[in-house]
Structure 1
Amino acid sequence: MQTLKQKIANKQPGIVTYGMTPPKITSTPEQIADIAEKQTDRLKDLRLDGLLLYDIQEEADRMERERPFPFLSTVDPGEYGERYLHRLNVPKIVYRCVGKYTEAELSEWIRADPERDRFAVYVGASSGKQSVALRLADAYPLSRRLNGRLTFGGVVIPERHAKHRDEHVRIVAKMNEGCAFFVSQATYNVEATKNMLSDYYYHCRDNGIGMVPILINFAPCGSAKTLEFMKWLGISIPKWLENELLHSHDILDKSIRLSQSIFEELLDFGLEKGIPVGCSIESVSTRKVEIEASVQLLAQLQSAIDRRLKPD
């Protein structure tokens, strides 16, 4: 079986990851350990290529609407993965919102464990108005220079492509800076994501560029409040789909079935064109029922991948 590093290097389709936000910084060590134990028990029997650990930043300046849930800082994702999630024997992919760190701080983290394969996703400022200590454009050469065994990726936003039509150009520019894979923002908009993948494919084909894996992110929605939070985050929810969720008898079950349908359409589109499409699953809610639904969705998307990629 190929490792995550090999799958990324070989530009394999079907990579599967799960994403989670570390506990709040106000949690006690005992509370953190208890949360980690529950998360480990949920995921330990699933076939994961990697675990995404998010690094969150305040984004109040990005949106005019009031945040539906309060912002609270969390435990450092690298520390959480190392200290509390060691029983999950899968690679940890640590997000770094680079604007939060000085060059010295990020350099220290990049240099750590130089003999071990590590993974990161570098994230830029949430808006042009955000004050940053380090620019995303500076993090890429820093990472390449300081640790060749740290495989890093970037973020893609299908909704941004729907507006500006240049997300595929951004992807290739980041690939030129060393990004070896990408993870999308959570999506329910199949058209925006498919348009982005299509432009990515034809741009790479016409310019002789090898495509790297793109993991499409999905998150179950279990309530109207979660739906509002998703919209605040910038996740595009088409009106027809919003109606389907809000007027369904079971919004959570409906969101799972819609997410699976969307992913299967995107996976088939990617396989047809040779785009290495994979998926990542998360829960944007801390409600137990939505977290458990995200695990159910992961298993279903893994099965969809198996049906298409496993030999008969």
Structure 2
Amino acid sequence: MLKQKILERRAGIVTYGLTPPKEDNTPEKIAEIANKLIDRMRNTEIDGLIIYDIQDEANRNEQERPFPFLKTIDPTVYGHQYLAQLDVPKIVYRCVGKYTEDELAEWIASDPGQDRFSVFVGPSSSQQEIRLSLTDAYELSRRANEKLILGGVVIPERHLRKNDEHLRVVQKMTSGCRFFVSQAIYNVEASKNFLSDYYYYCQNHQIEMVPILFNLTPCGSLKTLEFMKWLGISIPKWLENDLMNSNDILDKSVNLTKKIFEELLEFGLEKGIPVGCSVESVSTRKVEIDASVQLLNDVRAMIDRKLMVAR
């Protein structure tokens, strides 16, 4: 169904995102972590599972990283070997600058004949050394595997500064991207501004819009809040104040993110923009992971209600 929903440009796609376990874990520990996730996902209704390919983003931010960067196991290995029991499509991220052309080409061409999904990610800053550019990776994908359904990254917060995120998205669409996933959002104005410019540009140039999945993540502690800001997530001052002074920061953040997404979903439905959602936890704390799963279920129910009314 994920392929069909993407190709038909449907609203309401829902995914769950996760980072693979650390590379220094034993196979037994990795299996234990995977089994906990499988148990959490049993009673959820998701269209796909996003598995991130992380890179050290120290060059992007001069401030000290709140949590140390540790390498993780390959997302393809984690998805195929450890999460095989989750019978949903796996959307594997690829930080293309980490790989040579031959390495990425081999990965793209693997499993011929099967529908596969990936999101290509470029460097986190202009100072980062890369082995392959995003443009070259898109071209490589077109040549090596026409059945790879490719997605891209959208950063609504960047639209506040440059007002050109919709143009970046359209350019990536011409390179083969058929859906987009945002980084975690807490700034509804940035996201609505992007959606508005995306909508009117596509209308004026007779371009069919592709699904935009807005990423939601709970914030369960001041440490998580600090990490989210380090990652570049735009959090308006009023909202940050509310979180910092809340008696229950986790509950407050979950309610806020649901309201933000509801506003974006309604905005998209009104204009015919295929808006969807991806949920994750940037924290490894059990309470925040559990909250992300509950958020996922709440958003799924919200989408189902809104789509039923829209029909």
TM-score bucket (shorter structure): over 0.9
Q: How many pairs were matched up?
A: 310
State how far apart, in whole Å, the 2-side matches of 1:223 and 1:189 are: 19
SS at match of 1:52: strand
**Equivalent in the alignment of 2:179:** 181
- Alpha-carbon offset, residue 310 of structure 1: 2.7
**Equivalent in the alignment of 1:90:** 88
State how far apart, in whole Å, the 2-side matches of 1:22 and 1:302 are: 24
- Alpha-carbon offset, residue 309 of structure 1: 1.0
- Alpha-carbon offset, residue 144 of structure 1: 1.1
Give the letter for the 1:251 counterpart: I
- Alpha-carbon offset, residue 166 of structure 1: 0.1
Q: Which residue, 66, 79, 82 being the options, matches 1:81?
A: 79
State how far apart, in whole Å, the 1-side matches of 2:147 and 2:42 are: 26
State how far apart, in whole Å, the 1-side matches of 2:138 and 2:213 are: 20
**Equivalent in the alignment of 2:226:** 228
5+ residue gaps, structure 2, are: none
State how far apart, in whole Å, the 2-side matches of 1:186 and 1:144 are: 28
State how far apart, in whole Å, the 2-side matches of 1:78 and 1:270 are: 32
Encode CA deviations 1:7-42: one digit per residue, 9 max, x unaligned. 000000000000000000000000000000000100
State how far apart, in whole Å, the 2-side matches of 1:260 and 1:86 are: 30
Give the letter for the 1:69 counterpart: F
Give the letter for the 2:214 counterpart: I
% identical equivalent positions? 67
Encode CA deviations 1:87-146: one digit per residue, 9 max, x unaligned. 101000000000000000000100001111000000000000000000000011111111
**Equivalent in the alignment of 1:148:** 146
> TM-score w.r.t. structure 2 length?
0.99
State how far apart, in whole Å, the 2-side matches of 1:95 and 1:59 are: 15
- Alpha-carbon offset, residue 71 of structure 1: 0.1
State how far apart, in whole Å, the 2-side matches of 1:174 and 1:70 are: 32
Instruction: Give yes or no for the alignment of 1:107 onto 2:105.
Output: yes
SS at match of 2:263: helix
**Equivalent in the alignment of 2:267:** 269
State how far apart, in whole Å, the 2-side matches of 1:79 and 1:197 are: 35
Encode CA deviations 1:254-274: one digit per residue, 9 max, x unaligned. 000000000000000000000
Give the letter for the 2:253 counterpart: S
State how far apart, in whole Å, the 2-side matches of 1:310 and 1:198 are: 23
SS at match of 2:17: strand
Write the mapping of 1:162-311 to structure 2, written as runs, cut at 5 A: 162-310=160-308
